[in-house]
Structures are given as structure tokens and as C-alpha cells.
Structure 1
Amino acid sequence: MLKKLNAWLHLWLGLASGIVVLIVSVTGCILVFEQEIKSMVHPWLHAEKPAGAAYLPPSALYQSVAKGLPGKEAHSVWYHGSNRTAHLTLDGDSVVYMNPYTAEITAVVDHEDFFHIVEEGHRHLWLPVEVGRAIEGWGTLIFFVLLVTGVILWWPRRWNKKAVKQSFTIRWKARFKRVNYDLHNVLGFYALILSVIIAFTGLMMSFPWFNKTVFRLAGGEIKPRVQAVSDTSLAGNTVMLQQVDKAWQKGLQEIGQHNTDQVIVHFPDEPDEAIYVCVDMYRGSWRDVYLDQYSLAELPASAPRLEDTKGGAWLRRMNYGLHVGEVGDLTTKILYFLGSLICASLPVTGFMVWWGKKRKKTKKKLRPQRTVAYMPAYNE
């Protein structure tokens, strides 16, 4: 009885969430290698480092944009590392790429590129954000339940040699229906661990209630949000761009622990706004640091070092890296690509299994019943 109920749940939940899982998984496959593909096809992402050269400070790049693109104002600059261009975000959707060693503008690119469109499909199915994110989130939750019901259906009744072979191997020489069933059943099991991680981390990003629950269960303590505000009484004769340069230098030399040639720094717009510096962009995680615009003191709103985070705080910090496969560089990215590809195939192979059974039942109902003709006896 329980197994029939489990099979019923697996079937109808799979049919209900199939399209969502297919779209999210296919777009996820593409996004796994987003940076690698961009690096190959976009020459403006590269800037050869001259011998002995060092980064120019943010103020130099800021002033270069002001001179080269009149009427545009830069809001932040991201240094991507040696032999890479830096990019500055402007008003609207434009991104300016600059040589960080010469301040030369190499490209002005629309933010709405191919990968941005793919990401919109992955995050909210190309629907209005609020509607699409809700559908995507609940579809991910259903998929998470499907992984549990799928394991129950896959679990062999007996662990003998024949059952183990059927559960772990695909019989490529069998009929198409059997091969399709094995692709659904066997590949689904092999991708189980990665599928659980991807779905779990996706739920962490989709639902605040899920995020908070996991955070608390992992020992995290929810504290009131602290605002990052600069002390305007210390303003004095400071100049914003000079302070940003100092904050950038502090981020590179003192604050950052990992990938110390990569940093993001924002240009504050208001007198009481803090200078935001992002460091430790490592394995899909990052560290948000807020510095007083005038004293450059680190404010309480800043995140601690990754080494100092534990439990729920660590899960939150590493959630993105765990979701996209950046925790182990290229090796885990390849595994995540294959796992996402299998996840994309499950709704298709599952639908074909259901459709084949449905057609079989329909044919049985429509098949004419055999009748025996009445043959009178000879002497009748």
C-alpha cells in the first residue's frame, strides 16, 4: 500500500513539475561554464599585464570613464585578477571593461547578454520575477521530494546479484522502453547526491523560511541586521575618490585572505554611506566588508573571514559555491554539468515511461474480445 502511494506521488508530482525541472536544469547546465565560455569568446575580458606593472587605483578608472563617456557615472569597479580587464558598472545596464594597468576603455557591453537571458530563465523561467521565482521555488521543492520518492522506488526488494545488476546498469541492447526505463532509474540514482545538493542549495536561495530554518538547525544565531553607516562627524577635508583608493588598497593588502588580486569596491553616493569592499572571492564564496568612508575603520556590518564561520553561517556563505559547483574548481564543475544534464533528462524519460504504460492500458481496453461462433449440433 505504501509503495503504491509512493509511486502515485512520484508520478503526479513528476508530471506537475516536469517542465520547471527541465528548464531549470538545462539553463543550469549552460551556466556552469559561463565564465569559461565568456573567457573564450570575449576578447575584451583579457588585458596583458606589462612587466612590473601594477593595478591603477579605482580613482584613475573612475576619471577615465568620466572623460571617455561624458554623462556616465561609475558606481563600482571589479578587478578580476592578473591579465584580466576590470569592469565598472554604470547607470542602466551598461558595463565598461577597462585595462586596469592603463585605464584604457576596451569595451562597453550591454548587460543583457546571452547568459543574462539564460540566468533569467534559471531564476524565474522568463516570467515576471515574483511569479516566476515562486513557480521555480515550488518546482524545486517538488523535485526535492521526487528525489526521496525516487530512491524508494529504485531500492531493490532483494539484494541478490540479478537485482543489483538491474539497479546499477543500463541494458543498452534491450528494447527502447527498457533502455529508457534504465536511463530514468539508474542515472537518477547515480546523480542523486549532486541532485540533492543542487536542489537543497536552490531552496536556500528561493525561500527565506527554508534558509532561516536550516540556519537555525545548523546552530546559527539570527541577529538583528546592522546598518553600515559612516560617521559624518569625521568628514573633515576628505575626498571621496581618495578614500575609495585607500579602502581598495586596504582590501587588497590587509583584509583579503584568498585571491588577493581580485576585489570589488563601490563609490559611495551619500555622505553617510559606507565604502563597500568585496574580498575573498574564492570557490564561489565572497566576503562583504564595509568601511567607514572617513576613518576607513571596519564596521560591524562586515562579514567575518571564512575561516571564522561555522555551522549555519558557513552554509550560508558557501551556498552559492555549492549550488554552482565552484567548490572544487573545474572538477566539480564537470560533475555538476553532468548532474544537471541527468536532472534535465529525468522529466523526459519519466514522461516516456508513463506515456508508454498509458498507451499499453489504452490498447488493452480497445482490444476486441474474442467471441466463439455458435455451431449447432448436426442432429439439431
Structure 2
Amino acid sequence: MTFKQAVGKVHLWLGLASGLVVFIVSITGAIFTFQDDIRDLTEPWRKVEVQQTAPVLPSQLKAAALAHHPGASMRDAWVTYFAPDRSATVFFFDKANLPIQIYLNPYTGRVLYEQNLRTHFFTIIQEIHMHLLLPEAVAKWVVGISISIFVVMLLTGLVLWWPKRKQERKQRFTIKWGARWRRVNYDLHNVLGFYAASIGLVLALSGLFMIFPWMLESVRLVVDGGKAAPPEIMTTKIDTLQTVSAATQPLSDIVYRNVRRLSPSNEMILIAPDGTGKDPVYCWTYQKALHYYHRDEYAFHPVSGQLLESRFHANKSTGTKLSDMNYDLHTGQILGFGGKIVAFLGSLISASLPITGTVVWWGRRNKTKRQKQAAIPATAA
């Protein structure tokens, strides 16, 4: 068996083993790519008219959002300010443990819309994309192993695609649309697979980094020259035995005022729940709404509201910046709308590869069967 034949066997059997999962993950990823753009067109409550007055404080947003949900706790609610022309949201679980997101006018605190995320279309698509509707502990390995196999498939596919002779290269870059359908399918698998390989690798690897954070940490270590704990990694600890004065204002308001002052140019602010009083209250501010790469991070004391730790994007190491970039790379939005188009096409082609590859395998299998059957009478004669 030659090297290419061995690679072909690996490519075939790994593809058959992972094809269904790769198809589902890729097609749902393609659908999810433009979710913010689609929702902005179909959900008018996501936008508001910009006003000259300052936004209301988080405590007021939470009070308005939870007014009709007496079983929910204000301490467990997440508050997000997106941008001057976007509504703010309060996210929490109600007494029936349903994930509820309330959209409010950030300038008045008026409730604009209430959404049950469990039945929301894009939430379901995201859940299928990440977990295949399986328990998270199981899905982690099913999806993770399948995507790891897909990475191997892309690499072995490039080996199989590479032509032996220079004169063959031109035909490997084009699809013969006028040929028989089996040849067109073969070209779709090989040519599109070649063109989408680099995009597919970025999407697959960035997805694996979310599933297995140790992989992303390994990349960061390599980029940062092996530094295990750079100064900007927050490891805030709370001394629960230390007596501190309780805050005289709601913690979320203290957090909001501080981060507005420290990160004045950042559009989006995400304030985590106050929690139990034993862990820090975290907050993240982002330079641009709905983009998660350029961010500053804060930790506050859960009783006094004192700022305990902060790290700013400008001061982060190259490896940490690369790590922060991972989600926006995965969705393509690191390059704006054009990047989303690239990610969408890459996901769509990735979804097609298991289908066209299976058709190629099935055709060759049937051809081999027919050849064997045709050879039987000749042998008998």
C-alpha cells in the first residue's frame, strides 16, 4: 500500500465515522452566523432611539425587569448595556427555571419585550451546534472528537488532492460542470474542499478551543513564550473572614459607575450577578457592541463593592489577545460583515463535504461490486 492509499483509507473511515456530526455542526454554524443581523431586522425591540440623557442604573433595570417575576432574585440577574442605539437586557432564570431575557429602554427603564430563550429559534440552533441536544458532558466528547477528526480530514484531504504532475493541477482547481453528475460531485468534494480548507481549519480549531479550553491555553503559552501566569490573568480571591463595610448602594450600580469611568470609550458593558457574597462580582466592557475581542475586565468585592482587580486590553500579552479573539474568529465577525460571509460559506462547504464524500464512496463501492459480479461468469467459463 502506497502512502497516498494509506492516507485515503484513513480519510475514508474517519469521514464515515464523523460525517453526520460534522454536517449538523457545520449547517447549524452557517445558520447561526448571521443571527444578530437577522434578529436586528425581525426584532424591533433590540434597537432604541439615542437620547442625550445618561442611561439608568442597573438596579433600576433589574427592578423593572423582575417586577412581574417575584420568584427571581435580583442578585442572580445579568445586566448588559449594548450601545447607545440598542436596548439593554436583563437575563435571569425565573421560578420555573426558564431562561428569561428582558429588553428595556436604557434611558427610561421601560420594558420593551420579554423573551423565553428556551424556545427562541437561534437559542435552539446554538444548542444543537454546541451540544447536539445531548447532555453537555456527553456532547463535549461527541462533538469534540468529531471536530478533531474533521481537522484530520481536512489535512488528509489536501494530501489526496495534491496532483502528482504539474499538468494535472489546473483541472484540480476547477469543477467540470458539463461532466456527468458523479464527476461533478467528485469535483465538488475535492475542489470546494481545497478552497475551504483554510477557513474550515480556523472554524474547527476555534470551536475546539471553546470545547477544550486547555487547547487554547496551550496556544497562549506557546505565543507568550511559555509564561504560565502572565500578570494580566485575574486570580482574584476573597477573604471571607475579613470584615468589610457593606456598600451603601446596589453593587451593580457601583460596578457600572466605575467601569464607565475606567473604560469610557467601550460601548458594551456586561455585569455579572452579585452572587452569594463569597466570590467577586465580575464585569466586562467591550469596545464595540456584539464583538467580544477588545475587552477590559474587572473584579469587585461582593460586599463593599471595592475594585479588587482590573486588566485592560491594551496591557494584555499577545497570547491573551489571541485567546480573547477566539469567539470573533469562530463566527467571522472579527472582520465585520465580510468575515461573516466567509465564515458562512466555509461552514456551508464544510457541511457539504460529508455528503459529497459519502456519494463518492458509495459510487466506488457499487462500481467495485459490479466489476466483481461481471468477472464471475468469465472466470467460470
Letter in 2 for 1:196: L
Asked whether the equivalents of residues 286 and 292 of structure 2 are also in contact (C-alpha less than 8 Å), the reply is no
2-side partners of 1:211 and 1:71: how far apart? 39
Q: CA deviation at 1:139?
A: 0.4
Q: Say yes or no: does 1:155 pair with 2:162.
A: yes
CA contact (8 A) 1:81 1:261 kept: yes
CA distance in 2: counterparts of 1:234 and 1:71, whole angstroms: 31
Contact 1:284 1:326 in 2 (8 A): no
1:343 counterpart = 2:338: no
In structure 1, what is the equivalent of residue 81 of structure 2? 79
Equivalent runs, 1:133-212 vs 2, <5 Å:
133-160=140-167, 163-212=168-217
RMSD: 2.4
Residue equivalent to 1:377: none
For 2:112 and 2:192, how far apart are their aligned partners in 1?
A: 45
Whichever residue aligns with residue 15 of structure 2, its letter is G
Compared with structure 1, are the counterparts of its residues 356 and 234 closer, same or farther at alpha carbon in structure 2 (3 Å cutoff)? same
In the TM superposition, what are the counterparts of 1:9-24 in structure 2 within 5 Å? 9-24=10-25
Choose 1 or 2 for highest CA Rg: 1
Q: 1:314 to 1:190 in 2, by over 3 A?
A: same
Q: Quick one: structure 1 residues 254 and 155, their matched pair in 2 at CA, closer, same or farther if it must change by over 3 Å?
A: same
Partner of 2:270: 264
2:260 counterpart letter in structure 1: L
- CA shift for structure 1 position 4: 0.7
Equivalent residue number for residue 114 of structure 2: 108
2:61 and 2:109 in contact (8 A); partners too: yes
Structure 1 SS opposite 2:141: helix
Q: How does 1:1-380 map to 2 (within 5 A)?
A: 1-50=2-51, 52-74=52-74, 75-91=77-93, 92=97, 93-112=99-118, 113-160=120-167, 163-218=168-223, 219-223=225-229, 226-229=235-238, 235-236=244-245, 238-241=247-250, 243-255=251-263, 257=265, 260-280=266-286, 282=288, 283-285=291-293, 286-293=295-302, 296-300=305-309, 302=310, 304-367=311-374
SS in 2 for 1:331: helix
Q: Which amino acid aligns with 2:59?
A: S
Q: Which moved more, 1:25-34 or 1:72-81?
A: 72-81
Q: Is the 8 A contact 1:98 1:105 kept in 2?
A: yes
Moved more, 17-26 or 104-113: 104-113
8 Å contact 1:197–1:323 — kept in the other structure? yes
> What is the CA–CA distance in structure 1 between the aligned matches of 2:66 and 2:128, rounded to whole Å?
34
Name the aligned partner's letter for residue 336 of structure 1. A
Residue by residue over 1:166-225, the C-alpha shift from the partner in whole angstroms, topping out at 9 and shown as x without a partner, is 111111111111111110101111111111111111121222442333232222523397
Q: In the aligned structure 2, how far is the partner of 1:265 from the partner of 1:311? A: 26
1:273-319 per-position Cα deviation (integer Å, ceiling 9, x unaligned): 4332110254432443112356655424x4x3223223432222111
> Per the alignment, do residues 131 and 295 of structure 1 end up closer, same or farther by CA in structure 2, a change over 3 Å counting?
closer
CA contact (8 A) 2:331 2:340 kept: yes
What residue ranges of structure 2 are gaps of 5+ in the alignment?
none
Would the aligned equivalents of 1:28 and 1:122 in 2 still touch at CA under 8 Å? yes
After TM superposition, give the deviation of residue 266 of structure 1 in Å: 3.0
Could you tell which deviates more after superposition, 80-89 or 1-10?
A: 80-89
List per-residue Cα deviations over 1:90-127 (Å, max 9, x = no partner): 23311111111111111221121111111111111111
Distance of aligned partners of 1:175 and 1:254 in 2 relative to their CA distance in 1, 3 Å threshold: same
Separation in structure 2 between the aligned mates of residue 6 and residue 244 of structure 1, nearest angstrom: 57
Name the SS of the counterpart of 2:36 in structure 1: helix
Q: Deviation per CA, 1:343-366, whole angstroms, max 9, x where unpaired?
A: 000000000011110111111122
Q: CA deviation at 1:6?
A: 0.6
Q: Judge conservation of contact 1:87–1:97 (CA < 8 Å) in 2.
A: yes
Contact 1:79 1:264 in 2 (8 A): yes
Residue type at the aligned position of 1:263: I
1:119-148 CA distance string (max 9 Å, x none):
111111111211111010000100001111
Deviation at 1:238, TM superposition (A): 2.5
- Alignment identity in percent? 34
Q: Any idea what the Cα deviations from partners look like across 1:71-104, whole Å, max 9, x if unmatched? A: 4333121011122111101233111111111111
Equivalent AA in structure 2 for residue 253 of structure 1 = R
For normalisation by structure 2, the TM-score amounts to 0.88
8 Å Cα contact 1:252/1:261 also seen in 2: no
Q: Which consecutive unaligned segments of at least 5 residues does structure 1 have?
A: 375-380
With normalisation by structure 1, the TM-score equals 0.88
